[in-house]
Amino acid sequence: MACNGVTGHCPRSYVVLVDESSCQSARGSGSSAWALAHESVFLRFAVEGAFTELNGTTYIEHLAHRYGVQPEGALNAFISRHDGQLYLDERVCLNTLAEQYGAPLEVSFLPLITKQIVQMHTYAEAARLAAGYQGSFVYAYATKANFAEEVVRTALQSGAHYETSSAADIIIAHQLWRQGVLRANQYMFCNGSKDLGYRKAILALREAGHEQLIPIVDDLDELAYLSSHCQVPMQFGVRVRFDIGDVDPDHPGGERFGLTHSEIDSAVAMLVGTPHSIVMYHAMVGSQIEDAHVWKIQLSSAVDRYAALAHRIPTLRMFNFGGGMPTDSYQLDFQFDCQAFLQTLMSALVDACAQYGTPHPELVGEFGRYTVGSHTVYLMEVGAVKPGRGGAPDWYLLNGSLMVSLPDMLIVEGQQFIVLPLNEWHLPARPVRLAGRYTCDTDDFYPRPGQPPLLLPNGGEGTILAFFGVGAYQQMLSGRGGAHHCLTPEMRRITIEADGDELVVRETPPQHLSDIMSLLGYNNATLELGIRRGEQNAERSIVRSFRMPVKRSARMWKRARPV
C-alpha cells in the first residue's frame, strides 16, 4: 500500500482515507513541490492513528472506540445524550432548539457558569481539609474571557470575585458596584499594564469607596502614580516576572508581565511611610496548563518567595496563581484533577509558611476559560458537500464561518473543539473536513493542517453540528456585534438564565445586514437589501423571552408561552 513508506507508523485506517491510486499519482509526480506538499497532506491525515477501521463502522462505534463513551447518557461533565437527542447540562435539548429555531444558532446556558464556580469551591474545600490549609480560597472570574453583561452578572452572583484587564473593565465594575451586583466584600484584582485611563478608573472606584480593589503592579511607574494620587489607603499586589527560561515556550509573551525580584523589593520600599500596603503576591505561569506536575514545579519557587516576603512584610496575605486552569470544554476525554492540583499547591504553601513562620495566605485563582468555556454552543448546518481531491477527505461546507466564530482555531496552535452531530449517530462514520461557507477564505477550515480529519456520520447535507466549548474568548476576539470577515452575520442567540425556580429564555435575532453596513459607514437607507424595511425592522426588534420552571424538560419549550 502507499502508506508503507510512513516511517513505520501506519494506522490500518489509512487505507480508507487514501486509496492506492491517488497516493500513487501523488508520488508519481514527485518532482513537483506541490505534489510533495500534497503528499504530506495525506501523511498528516494518516499519522494521528486515531481512526478505527472505518469499513461500516458507525459513528456510535467510533465514539465508543475513540472516547469510551456510550451513545446514551453522559458524554462528559456537561454534554449528554438521551433518546438520541443531544443535551447541554442535561437540561437544554439542542435537537429541540435546532428544530425550533434552525441553524446557525448560538445557545448560551448561564447556569453552567454557576456550576463551574460551585464545583471549584467544592474542590478547594476538599483540598483545604486534606492539606490542613488554614487560608481561604478566593475564586475570581477573569472577565476578559467573556464580558457579556449576563455572563459577568452570573459569575458575580454565583460567588466569584472580579479580575480586570483594562479601563473599560473597571468602568463596568464601577457600575456593577453602584448597582449592588458587585458587592462591597467582593475583591477586584486589576491586572495588566495600566495606562493613564486605567489608572484613573482605578482611582475613581477606590475613592468612590470600593475598598476591596487591588491593583496588581505591572511596573514601578504605575505604582508611583497610583500610590501618590490615591487619597485613601490602597491595597496593592505585585506580579512576579518569570525568567524567560521559566515561561511556557508556547506562550513566550507571558515573560513581559510583572516585576523582577529586585523591582518587587523597590515596590516594598516605595510604600514605606505611606498609608498603602502590599497584600498580594501574583504568580501566573501560563494559559491552558494541562500538566499539573509541571505547573506545580513552575510555581514552587514563587511559593517559597511568597513565604519569605510575607515574613518581611506582614501585610502580605494573598497568594494568587492567576489564570491557566484547564477545562474539559475542548476535548471529550480531557482529564485534569483540579482538586489534586489545589491540594498540592496548598501543601507546598503549608510547608513554605511553616519554614518562615507566616500564616497560610488566602489562595486566589483567576478563572477565565474554566468559568465560561462550556456554557455556550454553536449549531451550524452542512449546506453542501464537496469531494476532497486526490483522496483527501470530503468537505462539509457549513452555513457559517469557522474563523469568525472560533478564532482560537487560528490563533492557538493545536486548539481543539468538541464537534458533535445532533443526529444520525447510527450512520457509518466518514472522515471529513469542515469549511465555512460565509467566507471565501482558504483558512476558514477545521481541523487545521497537521490535525487528522474529523470523523462524522455520513449524513451529508442537512447534518447539524454542535460546536461545544465556545463560551470563552471566541466572541471577544471576534468582536461581538461587529462587522466580521466577509461580513458574516452573527447567528441567532438563545440565552437561558436561571431566575429562582424558573429559566428565562431570551431570543436575540441574527445580526442584520443593514446593521453591519451601518457599522462600515454605508447609508443603509439607500441599500438594496432585498428585504422590505418594515419587515427588517420588525425582525430586528424581536427580542423574545419566556419563562419556564427549571424542572421542566427543555423539550417542552416548544409549548412554553412567551411572556
The number of residues that bind ligand PLP (CB under 6 A) is 16
Q: Nearer to ligand PLP by C-beta: 162 or 370?
A: 370
Q: Nearer to ligand PLP by C-beta: 45 or 257?
A: 257
Strands (E) across 91-133 are located at 92-93, 105-109
Task: Write down the residue that cell numbers 484547564 correspond to.
Answer: 326
Which stretch in 5-13, 64-72, 317-325, 406-414 sits in contact with ligand PLP by CB under 6 A?
317-325
The whole-angstrom separation of Cα 411 and Cα 434 is 17
Which stretch in 25-33, 108-116, 316-324, 502-510 sits in contact with ligand PLP by CB under 6 A?
316-324
Cell (9 digits) for 492? 441567532
CB atoms within 10 A of CB 107: 24
Question: In 420-507, which residue ranges form alpha helices assigned H by DSSP?
Answer: 474-478
- Burial of residue 412, with CB atoms counted within 10 A of its CB: 0-12 exposed, 13-18 middle, 19 or more buried: middle
Residue whose Cβ sits closest to ligand PLP: 323
Closest to 412 in 3D by CA, of 437, 448, 455, 376: 448
Q: Exactly one of 111, 237, 258, 323 binds ligand PLP (CB under 6 A); which one?
A: 323
Cell (9 digits) for 165? 484587564
Is 112 a binder of ligand PLP (CB under 6 A)?
no
Q: Give the shortest CB-491-to-ligand PLP separation in angstroms.
A: 24
Is 142 a binder of ligand PLP (CB under 6 A)?
yes
Q: Nearer to ligand PLP by C-beta: 391 or 471?
A: 471
Q: Nearer to ligand PLP by C-beta: 166 or 287?
A: 287
For 472, which DSSP code?
S
Q: Give the shortest CB-302-to-ligand PLP separation in angstroms.
A: 14
Q: Nearer to ligand PLP by C-beta: 11 or 258?
A: 258
Which of the residues 143 through 172 are near ligand PLP (CB under 6 A)? 145, 163
Q: Which H helix or E strand runs over 196?
A: helix 196-208
Q: Exactly one of 319, 367, 438, 446 binds ligand PLP (CB under 6 A); which one?
A: 367
Q: Give the shortest CB-140-to-ligand PLP separation in angstroms.
A: 8
Which of the residues 180 through 219 are near ligand PLP (CB under 6 A)? 191
Q: Nearer to ligand PLP by C-beta: 471 or 489?
A: 471
Strands (E) across 11-122 are located at 73-74, 79-82, 85-88, 92-93, 105-109
Dihedral sign (CA 29, 30, 35, 40): positive
Q: Give the shortest CB-160-to-ligand PLP separation in angstroms.
A: 12
Cell (9 digits) for 557? 419549550
Q: Nearer to ligand PLP by C-beta: 2 or 124?
A: 124
Beta partners for residue 547, in sequence order: 504
The whole-angstrom separation of Cα 203 and Cα 186 is 17
Closest to 339 in 3D by CA, of 76, 133, 112, 120: 120
Which of the residues 273 through 312 are near ligand PLP (CB under 6 A)? 284, 287-288
Is 135 a binder of ligand PLP (CB under 6 A)?
no
Closest to 392 in 3D by CA, of 435, 439, 334, 356: 435
Q: Nearer to ligand PLP by C-beta: 233 or 253?
A: 253
The whole-angstrom separation of Cα 166 and Cα 198 is 6
Radius of gyration for the chain, computed over Cα atoms and rounded to the nearest angstrom = 26
Q: Nearer to ligand PLP by C-beta: 162 or 177?
A: 162
Q: Exactly one of 369, 375, 492, 493 binds ligand PLP (CB under 6 A); which one?
A: 369
Is 324 a binder of ligand PLP (CB under 6 A)?
yes
Residues 14-53: x where in contact with ligand PLP by CB under 6 A, - otherwise, as a string: ----------------------------------------
Q: Nearer to ligand PLP by C-beta: 189 or 438?
A: 189
Q: Exactly one of 218, 366, 381, 444 binds ligand PLP (CB under 6 A); which one?
A: 366
Cis peptide bond N-terminal to 104, omega within 30: yes
Task: Write down the residue that cell numbers 447510527 correspond to.
Answer: 426
Query: What is the binding site for ligand PLP (CB under 6 A)?
Result: 142, 145, 163, 191, 284, 287-288, 322-325, 366-370
